[in-house]
Chain A
Amino acid sequence: MVELFIYGIVLGGIIALGAVGLTLVYGILRFANFAHGDLMSAGAYISLFLMSVLFSGMGIPDSNFAPLSIGWRMVLAFPLSMLAVGGVAIAMDRILYRKLRHKNSPAVMLAMSALGASFIIRMIILILWGADYRFYRPGVLRPALSLPLGVKIRPDQLLILSVVTVLVILLHLFLQKTKMGKAMRATADNMELARVSGIDTERIILWTWGIGGALAAAGGILYGIDVQVHPGMGWNFLLPLFAAAILGTIGNVYGALVGGFVIGVAQQVSTAFLMPTYKPAVAFLIMIGILLIRPQGIFGGK
């Protein structure tokens, strides 16, 4: 049980990274980005490409830092993939969403276009890599560490938790201490007043997409390190992402983090009673429950 709880925190961290981007974009644009899960897949596959094609071609060694399963290739691929997916998210906004926004298209049109974008990303992945499950480093034995209370945890999972922690702290510092971060919160509060104050809100929107995309990529790659990568992974994450964001009050970054961990833990702990295939149903149930009982989420006012 303790073990499942810890696995839940690992999964929750990954969900949180995705949910933060979803909620940031929603906070600023009042737009539910159904393609956000697939940005996670995009990050995972860009890393796979960098490591298996580009870095191996450049002769960067494939050795891993024992007892972790990752090596130099991942150290390089991780930030590069975050940057790339940040760019993909910005490009999607420029090509698609911004045009619809400027035409004052109804919300359902934006939602449909996001759904379309999510299919496009998934299909590109299927065309380029096929439908197989893949590992970043096939064949690496993943020994578990034994902790007290009979908890077994893989070094990779500790690494994932550390990376999530660092990213969350960086995000917090960005939002609270930097001018751009404060302007982002201000724009989420009141876009018109932000413009009246001289804030270039289009630039804030770009930053929001960039950060949301980069964090989604991080979540996708970490999931790939923990489990494996496959083209449907991001789509499967969409439900937990929304459940986490809604649970933590949509638009609230810190709420999305808490929501992510709650959903992750609930999903993992449920496997003690239910078949693991029901994990997404657990997120779905929590989402329906929160929408029925407290639709404004745990951090929302009246």
Chain B
Amino acid sequence: MSILCAEGVTAGYTEVDILNEVHLRVEPEEIVSIIGPNGAGKSTLLKAIFGLLKPRKGRILLEEEEITGLSPDRIVRKGLSYVPQVHNVFPSLTVQENLEMGAFIRTDDYSSRMEEIFQLFPLLKERRKQKVGQLSGGQRQMVAMGRALMLDPRVLLLDEPSAGLAPLLVSLIFEKIQEINATGVAVVIVEQNAREALKLSHRGYILAMGRNVMDDEAQALLDNEEIGRLFLGG
């Protein structure tokens, strides 16, 4: 049984469809990359899944339950979390307050969850009292991911987690994604850094012009010469 499934999703910001009958399937504990050129609709697909954009056609299922058209604050309660590409932290709040906001809907004691996140990102623990606006890009990305993990999601959607980061930080963030996945969280990554993303993924989807081009095991995509030339920068 797939944990997350998008079927025939058509969506756009205006009357123009950015996505055309796109499908996506995520199995439990998988890392799935969505790659493709700029403007392919990768980020739009995540937004449509997370309810930030209402699909005109198609269905989105989270563990067989239809979540199509629900608002983000409802969807997040069902075990799906999302980290936007930009503006993904609350800059005037401290690190700890950002994590608390991630746990806003929790009414139980979430201090042990916060401790787990501090173990994943030890740097955040040191900076817990600091305002996030004063942190570097890589540290902000950690805060953003930490916030999204506060609810113990079953699926984590990451929109370009490596965007704008120095190469060393990119590999650090990718390592963290694998650590998160190892705790049983399925991860969907949209990435420009396609080759690196596929290396840590189980499977990959290639989108172009708002349509599915191909999907396969990540290794098979990496080994495919034509895909390499067209979508992975040679």
Contacts and interface: CB of A to CB of B under 8 A. Distances in A.
A199 B98 CA distance: 12
A185 B76 contact: no
Main SS at interface, chain B: loop
B91 interface: yes
Interface in A136-192: 179, 182-183, 185-186, 188-190, 192
Interface in A189-206: 189-190, 192-201
Contact of B73 (A179, A189, A198): A198
A142 B52 CA distance: 60
B168 to A, nearest CB: 27
A196 B72 contact: yes
B166 interface: no
B93 A197 contact: no
Given A179-B104, A183-B101, A198-B76, A193 B84 contact: yes
B21 interface: no
Interface residues of B, number: 25
A185 B147 CA distance: 16
Contacts of B92: 185, 188-189
- State which size class the interface on A falls in: 10 to 19
B150 to A, nearest CB: 8
Contacts of A189: 90-93
B100 interface: yes
Contact of A198 (B52, B90, B91, B151): B151
A188 B84 CA distance: 17
Nearest to B147: A197
B129 interface: no
A195 B47 CA distance: 13
B102 A197 contact: yes
B151 A195 contact: no
Contacts of B95: none
A195 B72 contact: yes
Contact of B76 (A179, A192, A196): A196
A197 B101 contact: yes
Interface in B57-111: 71-73, 76-77, 82, 84, 87-93, 97-98, 100-102, 104-105
B50 interface: yes
B108 to A, nearest CB: 13
Given A185-B90, A186-B90, A189-B93, A195 B71 contact: yes
Contacts of B93: 182, 185-186, 189
Contacts of A193: 84, 87-90
The residue in A189, A193, A195 that gathers the most chain B C-beta atoms within 10 A of its C-beta is A193
A198 B75 CA distance: 8
Nearest to B97: A182
Interface of B: 50, 52, 71-73, 76-77, 82, 84, 87-93, 97-98, 100-102, 104-105, 147, 151
Interface of A: 179, 182-183, 185-186, 188-190, 192-201
6 contacts: A186-B90, A189-B91, A190-B90, A195-B72, A197-B73, A198-B73
